[in-house]
Amino acid sequence: MGGILARVYVTPKRGILDPQGKAVQHSLHVLGFGEVADVRVGKYIEMQLRDVAGDAAMARVRQMCERLLANGVIEDFRVELGEGRS
């Protein structure tokens, strides 16, 4: 059966220091990409889910984010659901 593909985007909260983004921006400038005004580096997580219906899935994935995938103190997350590979 074709399951569900969940896409999770975890990004540093606004206002929270993102040292990684800062360092990447610096290197891009050194490489001559001066047009880069700001960089934020986060996580992108793809999950294949089996045996779950779409509506239930959303709630489950949000739980996964709160309990493991994202750190609510310093990170925000966003979830998208799509057609999974079978």
Binding site for another protein (CB under 8 A): 12-13, 15-20, 22-24, 26-27, 30-31, 41, 43, 67-69, 71, 73-74
52 contributes a contact to a second copy by CB under 8 A: yes
Q: What are phi and psi of 6, to 5 degrees?
A: -100, 130
What is the separation of C-alpha 28 from the centre of its chain, rounded to a whole number of angstroms? 22
Nearest-approach distance from CB 78 to a second copy, in angstroms: 9
The CA R_g of the chain, rounded to the nearest whole Å, is: 16
**Smallest distance, another protein to C-beta of residue 69, A:** 7
C-alpha 11, offset from chain centre: 6
Which helix (H) or strand (E) segment holds residue 59: the answer is helix 54-64
List interacting residues with a second copy (CB under 8 A): 3, 9-11, 24, 27-28, 31, 33, 35-52, 57, 60, 63-64, 67-69
